């Protein structure tokens, strides 16, 4: 099955437009998720048949073009196809759902990279000289203190912070609101940034957003990614670092210190507990280590 380069036709397709409206306004998927769905839908274009005329056999042949993808990327593609064809079937555009028998690849549960508390302390040690430095320090402290997604962090508004009761009001995935507590250290750095440096970054512009770029506008996800990578390099942290690393570190450290996994699920804004359970093998590691350290007949003692 040939893949056509002229993929942009799909952006004008009436069924795709209806589907995008459906996942954006009814399913309440974020803009970034909608874009990722569109990218996968665009891959569906072929010379021979319209996408809504494909059979299960056609789709299986189509998916063979993506054997080079890792299991997670392939699973995302199949998830998008299932969602799209499920919508088309429900709308009566197709009489049979060609995706219903397509199997999902097995995804190996892999714990994301995370930092130790010692590495976190090194990363958060920002040299404070310019307004940007104070903003960066506040962002890093807040990211680790709350475990926010990067999109949640950059979209925070000043009005989302309750300084008296020490919590954030966060709009998460699916436009679901949650309350996340903040520790005093992070809150004080945020307050210091707001009082002394935020206005100088605004450059006489108005913005309701908390974190402001050097151009006086809301800081972007990409800018925070560069910030955290740069800070890690400066501090000699030899790990693959991204904004999500702080989120994983937040969850991992809480779990290792005995926090209930359902509390962590709530703090992270995970709809499904299974998403949070990727961290549970840390508990098993700690149990094994404690057993080896303290049981008189452990294998470690016999080695």
User: Among residues 149, 189, 193, 198, which one is catalytic?
Assistant: 149
User: Among residues 169, 244, 256, 286, which one is catalytic?
Assistant: 244
Distance CA 11, CA 165 (A): 46
pLDDT for 122: 96
pLDDT for 256: 81
Helix (H) / strand (E) containing 104: none
pLDDT for 230: 94
Structure tokens at 67: 């054997």
Check: CB of residue 224 under 8 Å from CB of residue 212.
no
Spatial CA neighbour of 248 closest among 233, 232, 235, 267: 267
User: Among residues 137, 198, 247, 248, which one is catalytic?
Assistant: 247
Per DSSP bridges, beta strands 161-162 and 177-181 are unpaired
User: Among residues 45, 51, 193, 279, which one is catalytic?
Assistant: 279
Contact partners, residue 5, CB within 8 Å, separation at least 6 = none
Helix (H) / strand (E) containing 179: strand 177-181
Structure tokens at 155: 């979209």
User: What burial class does residue 262 get, using C-beta atoms within 10 Å of its C-beta: 0-12 exposed, 13-18 middle, 19+ buried?
Assistant: exposed
Domain ranges of the chain: 7-90, 117-239
pLDDT for 229: 93
Distance CA 219, CA 241 (A): 19
Splitting the chain (303 residues) into consecutive groups of 10 residues, what average pLDDT does each group show? 50 86 88 87 67 84 82 88 92 90 75 83 95 97 92 94 92 81 94 96 94 95 94 92 87 83 81 60 58 58 48
Contact partners, residue 162, CB within 8 Å, separation at least 6 = 168, 169
pLDDT for 270: 74
270 flagged as catalytic: yes
Check: CB of residue 150 under 8 Å from CB of residue 225.
yes
| Domain at 117-239, CATH class | mainly alpha
244 flagged as catalytic: yes
- In which residue are the tokens 């740069």 written? 230
Structure tokens at 27: 């399913």
Spatial CA neighbour of 202 closest among 187, 221, 218, 225: 218
DSSP 8-state symbol, 106: P
247 flagged as catalytic: yes
State phi, psi for 46 to the nearest 5 degrees: -140, 165
User: Among residues 24, 76, 173, 218, which one is catalytic?
Assistant: 173
pLDDT for 51: 79
User: Among residues 43, 135, 198, 270, which one is catalytic?
Assistant: 270
pLDDT for 1: 39
173 flagged as catalytic: yes
Spatial CA neighbour of 271 closest among 37, 32, 99, 27: 27
pLDDT for 291: 56
172: left (phi over 0), alpha (psi -120 to 50) or beta: beta
Distance CA 181, CA 250 (A): 13
Contact partners, residue 156, CB within 8 Å, separation at least 6 = 148, 168, 170, 209, 210, 211
H-type helices in the chain, by residue range? 14-21, 31-42, 56-63, 71-90, 117-123, 131-146, 150-154, 184-196, 198-202, 221-234, 243-256, 261-268, 273-276, 281-294, 299-302
């Amino acid at each position: 099955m040939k893949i056509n380069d002229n993929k942009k036709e799909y952006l004008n397709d009436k069924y795709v437009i209806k589907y995008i409206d459906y996942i954006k306004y009814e399913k309440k998927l974020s803009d970034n998720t909608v874009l990722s769905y569109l990218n996968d839908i665009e891959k569906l274009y072929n010379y021979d048949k319209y996408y809504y005329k494909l059979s299960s056999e056609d789709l299986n042949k189509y998916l063979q073009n993506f054997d080079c993808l890792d299991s997670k990327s392939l699973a995302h593609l199949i998830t998008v196809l299932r969602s799209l064809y499920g919508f088309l079937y429900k709308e009566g555009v197709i009489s049979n759902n060609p995706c219903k028998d397509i199997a999902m690849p097995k995804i190996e549960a892999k714990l994301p990279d995370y930092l130790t508390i010692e590495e976190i302390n090194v990363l958060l040690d920002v040299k404070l000289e310019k307004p940007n430095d104070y903003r960066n320090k506040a962002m890093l402290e807040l990211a680790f203190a709350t475990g926010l997604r990067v999109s949640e962090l950059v979209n925070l508004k000043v009005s989302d912070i309750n300084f008296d009761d020490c919590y954030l009001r966060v709009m998460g995935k699916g436009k679901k609101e949650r309350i996340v507590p903040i520790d005093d250290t992070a809150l004080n750095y945020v307050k210091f940034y707001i009082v002394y440096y935020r206005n100088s970054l605004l450059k006489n512009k108005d913005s309701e957003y908390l974190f402001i770029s050097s151009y006086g506008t809301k800081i972007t996800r990409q800018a925070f990614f560069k910030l955290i990578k740069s800070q890690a390099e400066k501090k000699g942290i030899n790990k693959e670092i991204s904004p999500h690393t702080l989120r994983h570190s937040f969850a991992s450290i809480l779990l290792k210190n005995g926090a209930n996994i359902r509390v962590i699920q709530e703090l992270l804004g995970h709809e499904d507990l299974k998403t949070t359970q990727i961290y549970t093998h840390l508990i098993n590691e700690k149990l094994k280590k404690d057993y080896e350290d303290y049981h008189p007949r452990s294998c470690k003692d016999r080695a």
